[in-house]
Amino acid sequence: MPLTHVSLRAGKPEAYRQAIFDGLYRAMRETFNVPEDDQFMTITEHEAANFRYGATYFDVARSDDLVLIQLTVSNTRNLDQKRALFLRIVELLGQNPGIRPEDVFINLVEVVKENWSFGHGLAQYA
Cβ burial, residue 70 (10 Å; 0-12/13-18/19+) = middle
Specify the pLDDT at position 17. Answer: 98
In whole angstroms, what is the distance from residue 108 CA to residue 86 CA? 10
What rounded mean pLDDT belongs to the chain? 97
Mean pLDDT of 88-100: 98
The band of 76, judged by pLDDT with boundaries at 50, 70 and 90, is very high
Among residues 42, 88, 46, 87, which one has the least CA distance to residue 65?
46
Query: Residue 98 — left, alpha, or beta (φ > 0 → left; ψ -120 to 50 → alpha)?
Result: left
Answer whether residue 1 shows pLDDT above 90. no
Mean pLDDT of 1-26: 97
Specify the pLDDT at position 36. Answer: 94
SS (H, E, C) 54-82: CCCHHHCCCCCCCEEEEEEEECCCCHHHH
Known catalytic membership, residue 13: no
Among 2, 13, 35, 97, the active-site one is 2
In whole angstroms, what is the distance from residue 66 CA to residue 104 CA? 6
In 3-state terms, what secondary structure has residue 103? helix
Specify the pLDDT at position 99. Answer: 98
> pLDDT for 45-65, tens place per residue?
999 999 999 999 999 999 999
Fold of 3-115: Macrophage Migration Inhibitory Factor (3.30.429)
Domain range list for the chain: 3-115
Q: Which pTM was predicted?
A: 0.95
CB 57 within 8 A of CB 66: no
